[in-house]
Chains A and B, each alone.
Chain A
Amino acid sequence: MTGAQEIVFGCNPNQVYHAFRYTDAFGLDRHDVIETIIEDLRPNLPLPVPPMNNAPFVGRVIVNGILLSYHAYPVSEALVNVGSITRL
């Protein structure tokens, strides 16, 4: 749990694969990516439900020198789903 909202990176194996497809291709450790994104996202929690304009929260992090963008959607008051992690 992180604050009032748990942060997940996909809700099934396909989505987890999809979320990390770029960082896997860059050879980044998923644990490093997860920890860095959670650290960046945590101060912004809780994300309001529903999200403004139906659009996700967007953040940027650097993992092993690679600048990444991520999207975070509040699913509920208890859950945030992170995906669309791409290189900038």
Chain B
Amino acid sequence: MSEASPDYKLGSLRELRDEELAIIKKMLSGTSLREKIEPQIYEMRVQDMPDGGMGSIKFYSGRPRSELEYGKQIAEAAFKDADGIPVSATLSVDEAGYLFELDIFKADGSPLVRYPDIHDFKIVKRGGKLGYAPPQS
């Protein structure tokens, strides 16, 4: 991953990469919105977000959507990057229930080295609790 432009603009429209598709499908697998959302993802275009190269993407639904149209987070996951740094991934939908963002937050803010092997990509379930997530089964 390369450093994002400092002008804070979204990247060009592109298709989802296979590794992005894999983790999004895994994040959707435990949600009640899976049946509604999963058919969308094969058609959707995305734009890289100017997050310093951590790998966040914004889903494009035919028109630009502002942050004010954010709806809610529907899934959370975590993994270790190739350099051993923890990374958080959160998937959100807009107010109409369409995919909005895949936010990638690397602990030290350094650029993402690579997406994880899907088996190392762990869904985080908090059950509405704050603080650290309880031990995952």
Q: Which residues of A contact B (CB under 8 A)?
A: 10-15, 17-18, 21-22, 24-26, 44, 50-60, 69, 71, 73-75, 81, 83-84, 86-88
Contacts and interface: CB of A to CB of B under 8 A. Distances in A.
Most buried by B among A52, A56, A57: A56
A53 B90 contact: no
Given A14-B4, A14-B51, A84-B105, A52 B133 contact: yes
9 contacts: A11-B52, A11-B108, A14-B4, A22-B70, A54-B86, A56-B78, A60-B130, A81-B107, A88-B72
A75 B109 CA distance: 9
Given A18-B52, A51-B86, A73-B86, A11 B68 contact: no
A10 B56 CA distance: 14
Q: Which of B79, B124, B133, B135 has the most CB of A within 10 A?
A: B133
A73 B105 contact: yes
Interface residues of B, number: 41
B70 A86 contact: yes
Contact of B107 (A22, A60, A69, A75): A75
Given A12-B52, A53-B133, A84 B109 contact: no
Nearest to B132: A52
At the interface, is chain B mostly helix, strand, loop or mixed?
A: loop
Given A54-B80, A55-B78, A55-B133, A17 B109 contact: no
Contacts of B87: 54
A55 B51 contact: no
Contacts of A57: 131-132
A11 B132 contact: no
Which 5 pairs across A and B sit closest by C-beta, in order of nearness? A11-B109, A73-B107, A25-B67, A14-B52, A54-B86
